[in-house]
Amino acid sequence: MFFSTALVSSLLVAGTLASPVSIPNAVHEKRTSPPQGWTRRDALDRRAILPMRIALTQGGLDQAPDWLMDVSHPDSEKFGQHWSAKDVAQAFAPSDETVKSVKAWLTSSGIGENRIKQSQSLGWLEFDATVDEAEDLLETKYHVWEHISGQPHVACDEYKIPTHLKKHVDFVTPTVHFDAKIRARDADNSSIKKRDTKSPLGNPNSGSLPKLGQWLGGKNKLIQQLEQCDTQITPNCLRALYEFPPNVYAAPGNSLGIVEYSPQAYVGSDLDIFFANFSTRQVGDRPTLDSIDGGVVQSQVMSFNYNGESDLDLEYAMTLVYPQKVTLYQAGDLVEGASFSDFLDALDGSFCASDDPNFDATYPDPLPGGYKGPKNCGGFAATKVISTSYGYNEYDLTPAYEKRQCNEYMKLGLQGVSFIFSSGDYGVAGNGGQCIAPGAPPAGDYTNTTYTDGTYGRFNPAFPSTCPYITSVGATQVKPGTNIIKALATHTQPEEACETVIYSGGGFSNVFPLPSYQSAAVKGWFKNHPPPYGADRFNNSQQTRGFPDVSANGANYVVAVDGQFALVYGTSASAPVFASILTLINEARLAIGKKSVGFINPTAYAHPEVWNDITQGGNQGCGTPGFSSATGWDPVTGLGTPNFPKLLKLYLSLP
């Protein structure tokens, strides 16, 4: 913490001049250590002008879960009556009380009413203040900070606001936040690792990318027989497993959204090799590109770790939804990349200002060679289904940041958008197999080293999979030696939890409470299949969100990458396949004048019979066998894999 004598004396002076009723102030935000790479330089000229912005707390958040249930629960009369963006903006605008109380504080502190503006999105109060005024108002001291790149920034170490305003103010800028994203440290290989909070999602070392099995060719031949889906998965294997036909519709506005984070990039000739073998009419077909924050489909660096994810996602999604189109949201330039929040900013401009520079990219990119165009705040349309095969460890971000982002998924859910995320590939461990060190501080505290080498430690759930407003998809595999055609003919479940190369991400949140739609499923699982682990391994209170929600095959995918076919593994495959199936359900609903399915979890849990229950296999990690698949929902394969005919019948029966 930093206090100069100048600050203390100025506060004393301010104190004697302030109104007779002294309002106790409390620390609102505080940084324990500066972000890596920044050095504090000089105090600021007290007459300099700071563009102050106060983020007001949103109204409506208490009612939000009910509102979302209203439009998403199959028993609700309002099922499918999605909101407009304007409805959402109004419902979550700060309350009059919030606006009035914060304005009263500013005016009583000498910031004239005529200087204060409320933003168009209603969420912000904005005014210019001298450093002197801002320091008095927030009981703080500003300094210029300098990044090793030479970039300057104005910040303080902590600030205070009146105690009674705590519930009305999210945060104030500029204060403790830094407006430049700092590059990831090189990971070291010691047994305890520092959390890497800043690694861009598309980083080729990111643990959320799919895993390469073997390249096909020579002796390892491409097989196209449904009898051998236990060794190679192709689009037709998926159609057989989940009983869905090739698509025929292409309703306007029902493109499937696939999000990719640069430098991950698809290769056009790979799509063509895949199409030539599996969907000949599509040779030459490409996704519709929505470039966000300078997002480019780069072709400078080519390898599995740069092309595997995008090729996999697009080859399967484009084939399964054809003749419907796929919209590729390519996010971030090649220097800084982008985060989930950067992507959400492009869909909803009012979310932009809540970015956290510790986790999100800054545009225009301040770094050499970066994208210099303006940041994309709003202006991009959300497709009805959006699939993302990237993920963080929940532990890598702060709970406040995660809740803000999660609320944004809720708002898009109200508007009828389904967000689909992969659940991770390391079982109960996090990306790269990391587990949380015993005795480590809670998420959001960055004062200590906190990850083990993965052989022991606490389970490490994935975000946004733990956000209760998205659908998290785990991975299954065809049981080795199983002929799926025979199995399906005899009503034998051909699949189990994926235990080849990868293990389905699953577990319980340390941040998000148990949502109502999932409560019976989670409690039933604890009762009927009590796990052999205690609170030292995971939050076993039965009061936190469990994931995944559902699953789909994630093993032995035949994918064309860099000119060759390879076998690929991961929930990275499960997510776009599940999203494709939902898109087909939307086609059928739109064809008869109904709305998109929107947020599916309330319906999914209310109708367990539309899923193929997966009851075998586990998701090992952190030196344990992990959890086990079981009858009913479980934290390995969720409710199970989609049974398309039943899912379709259900959704056609809903309003």
Ligand X SMILES: *[C@@H]1O[C@H](CO)[C@@H](O)[C@H](O)[C@H]1NC(C)=O
**Residue 46 DSSP class:** T
Q: Which is nearer to ligand X, 243 or 272 (CB)?
A: 272
- Minimum distance, C-beta of residue 169 to ligand X, in the bound complex (Å): 24
**Residue 382 DSSP class:** P
Q: In terms of Cα–Cα distance, which of 481, 557, 602, 639 is closest to 320?
A: 557
CB of 244 closer than 8 Å to CB of 584: yes
Question: CA dist 96 to 119, 123, 631, Å?
Answer: 14, 11, 49
For residue 634, say whether it is annotated as part of any ligand binding site. Answer: yes
- Minimum distance, C-beta of residue 543 to ligand X, in the bound complex (Å): 4
Rg of the chain over Cα atoms, rounded to whole angstroms, equals 25
CB of 182 closer than 8 Å to CB of 383: no
Q: Which is nearer to ligand X, 101 or 277 (CB)?
A: 277
Residue nearest to ligand X (CB): 276
Q: Which is nearer to ligand X, 147 or 195 (CB)?
A: 195
For residue 128, say whether it is annotated as part of any ligand binding site. Answer: no
For residue 600, say whether it is annotated as part of any ligand binding site. Answer: no
Q: Which is nearer to ligand X, 234 or 615 (CB)?
A: 234
For residue 632, say whether it is annotated as part of any ligand binding site. Answer: yes
- Minimum distance, C-beta of residue 208 to ligand X, in the bound complex (Å): 23
CB of 414 closer than 8 Å to CB of 83: yes
Number of C-beta neighbours around residue 565 at 10 A: 22
Write out the H or E segment, with its range, that includes residue 107. helix 96-108
Mapped to the 3 state alphabet, what secondary structure does 235-277 carry?
HHHHHHHHCCCCCCCCCCCCCEEEEEECCCCCCHHHHHHHHHH
Q: Which is nearer to ligand X, 64 or 437 (CB)?
A: 437
- Minimum distance, C-beta of residue 559 to ligand X, in the bound complex (Å): 11
- Minimum distance, C-beta of residue 512 to ligand X, in the bound complex (Å): 8
Q: In terms of Cα–Cα distance, which of 390, 458, 329 is closest to 206?
A: 390
Tokens of 22: 């002294």
Catalytic residue (one of 136, 270, 293, 313):
313
Buried b (16+ CB within 10 A) or exposed e, 527-556: eebebebeeebbbeeeebbbbbbbbbbbbb
Q: Which is nearer to ligand X, 222 or 289 (CB)?
A: 222
Catalytic residue (one of 572, 574, 580, 596):
572
Question: Phi and psi at residue 320, in whole multiples of 5°?
Answer: -70, -30
Residues that bind ligand X (CB under 6 A): 188-190, 273, 276-277, 437, 439-440, 448, 510, 513, 535, 539, 541, 543-544, 565
Q: Is the dihedral of CA 172, 176, 178, 181 positive or negative?
A: negative
- Minimum distance, C-beta of residue 247 to ligand X, in the bound complex (Å): 21
CB of 453 closer than 8 Å to CB of 228: no
- Minimum distance, C-beta of residue 307 to ligand X, in the bound complex (Å): 15
Q: Which is nearer to ligand X, 142 or 275 (CB)?
A: 275
Q: Which is nearer to ligand X, 190 or 653 (CB)?
A: 190
Write out the H or E segment, with its range, that includes residue 282. none
Catalytic residue (one of 136, 270, 285, 309):
309
Mind giving me the DSSP string for 528-572?
HS--S--TTTS--SS-EEEE-SEEEE-SSEEEEETTEEEEEESHH
CB of 583 closer than 8 Å to CB of 527: no
- Round to whole Å and give the CA distance between 206 and 24: 46
Q: Which is nearer to ligand X, 407 or 544 (CB)?
A: 544
Let me know if 313 is a catalytic residue. Answer: yes
**CB-neighbour burial class of residue 150 (10 A; exposed 0-12, middle 13-18, buried 19+):** exposed
Residue 43's DSSP bridge partners are 143
- Minimum distance, C-beta of residue 233 to ligand X, in the bound complex (Å): 16
Amino acid at 114: N
**CB-neighbour burial class of residue 14 (10 A; exposed 0-12, middle 13-18, buried 19+):** middle
- Minimum distance, C-beta of residue 193 to ligand X, in the bound complex (Å): 10
What residues act catalytically? Answer: 309, 313, 572
Q: Which residues are annotated as a binding site?
A: 613-614, 632, 634
Q: Which residues are annotated as a binding site for Ca(2+)?
A: 613-614, 632, 634
